[in-house]
Amino acid sequence: MAGVVVRTREDVERWLRETDPSRLAALFSEADRVRHAVVGDEIHLRGLIEISNICVRSCTYCGLRRQNSSLRRYRMKSEEILAAAASAAAAGCRTIVLQSGEDPGLRPDFVASTVFRLKSELDVAVTLSLGEQPCDVLRLWRDAGADRYLLKLETSDLALFASLHPGEPEVVWERRLHTLGVLRGLGYQVGSGSLLGVPGQTLASVARDLELFQMLDLDMIAFGPYVPHPDTPLAQQLRAEKSSGNRSIGENGPCDIEESEWLRQPLTGLIAVALSRLLCPEAHIPATTALRMLLGDDALRPFFCGADVLMPDFTPAQYAVLYRIYPGKDRMAMQGEGLLSDYLERLALQGRPVARDLGDRKRL
Ligand code: SAH
């Protein structure tokens, strides 16, 4: 389409700061056209099961960080996971996503046997999102039948990454990047993504994220707006910056609070979805829960800006309230199957039926 050029990093950055409604409409409709042409009209349902909220990490943005002592911790049993997966499958999910904090108590063998049972008892693909793991563990899970793995880089800005993950060795970002390659080598379909709008993040760095994801030829890409969680250092930092006049000199020098605030807006989230689609046409791209939450009544919009994946939460209610990576997430999980079928009905009416296949990445 005339006017929608997304070639260089500068183009991407320009689109990320675009506010003109008619130019944005052109961007979204071009992303929608590419989505239709390349991955089709079907919506893939990935049933999310949050199997443990125990975490050894200290990510400054996340409510599951180990220092958050106000959170009651849980780890689901195998039978509970199987039962939740069965209800997800019954609701039309052909993929089950097992997600957790980085919980050393989730024994590799336990995960392997759970994956094996999911694959043999239900006709589903299995995606794991269990954080960084050593190569032999990833191989064990792949051999047990896991199809895909999600590991977000969160940002391509190394200094920002280091400040978001204090107390961890400097090599952590490189290790994550390396792990994405290991996953690929093991035959997983690989997903990654970034937070949008963490303090200190710039439009230029998000443009670099997109360039990196394109280079990695990811099978799945997710951008989720950062939602401050009050019991985390990052939210406290944000509050302090707000009250001191919107500017801070952090470890990384002056941070442009306005850019990161702009990146947290739901409109910018839609732009990131559209740009992901245009740069990585074959990737599966979710309408992330955080973005849908911020969009409120417009929660279906990502599906008309390039997205093709919905991840309904099938974590049992008593655990979903405790998988509180950011406030409001538990409410999104709680909305239950009534809302899901309402959602799906509205999408179907707009020409977007639920997919019946497993939703693997297809290469043109
Ligand atoms: N422990 C796993 C899974 C983490 S939870 C891992 O690290 O890979 C899944 C995602 O939630 C994270 O990758 C992060 O992008 C997102 N997340 C965490 N805290 C958030 C917050 N405050 N706002 C929005 N998204 C958040």
* CA of residue 349 to ligand 1 center, whole Å: 32
- If you average pLDDT over every residue of the chain, what do you get? 93
Residue nearest to atom 6 of ligand 1 (CA): 131
Do 53 and 323 touch, CB atoms closer than 8 A? yes
* Residue 252 pLDDT: 44
Do 315 and 323 touch, CB atoms closer than 8 A? yes
Task: List, in sequence order, every beta strand (DSSP E) within 297-342.
Answer: 309-310
Beta bridge partners of residue 225, listed in sequence order:
196
- In whole angstroms, what is the distance from residue 66 CA to residue 284 CA? 31
Taking 70 as the threshold, does the pLDDT of residue 334 lie above it?
Answer: no
Do 102 and 108 touch, CB atoms closer than 8 A? no
* Residue 333 pLDDT: 74
Name the residue of 58, 75, 103, 152 whose CB sits within 8 Å of the most ligand 1 atoms, as the mutation to test its pocket. Answer: 152
What interhelical angle do 21-38 and 266-279 show, nearest 10?
A: 40
Residue nearest to atom 25 of ligand 1 (CA): 226
Q: How confident is the model over 25-69, as pLDDT tens digits?
A: 999 999 999 999 999 999 999 999 999 999 999 999 999 999 999
Pocket of ligand 1 (CB under 6 A): 61-62, 99, 101-102, 129, 131, 151-152, 154, 195, 224, 226-227, 229, 290, 325-326
DSSP 316: -
Name the residue of 62, 75, 128 whose CB sits within 8 Å of the most ligand 1 atoms, as the mutation to test its pocket. Answer: 62
Taking 50 as the threshold, does the pLDDT of residue 253 lie above it?
Answer: no
**310: helix, strand or coil:** strand
Kindly state the tokens that stand for 94: 């052909």
**Polymer length in residues for the chain:** 364
Task: List the one residue out of 74, 99, 71 whose CA is nearest residue 85.
Answer: 99
* CA of residue 152 to ligand 1 center, whole Å: 8
> How do beta strands 248-250 and 148-150 pair?
unpaired
Task: List, in sequence order, every beta strand (DSSP E) within 85-184.
Answer: 95-100, 125-129, 148-150
- In whole angstroms, what is the distance from residue 210 CA to residue 207 CA? 5
Beta bridge partners of residue 95, listed in sequence order:
46, 125
Instruction: State the DSSP H helix or E strand holding residue 194, giving kind and residue range, or none if neither.
Output: strand 189-196
Higher pLDDT, 1 or 182: 182
* Residue 216 pLDDT: 97
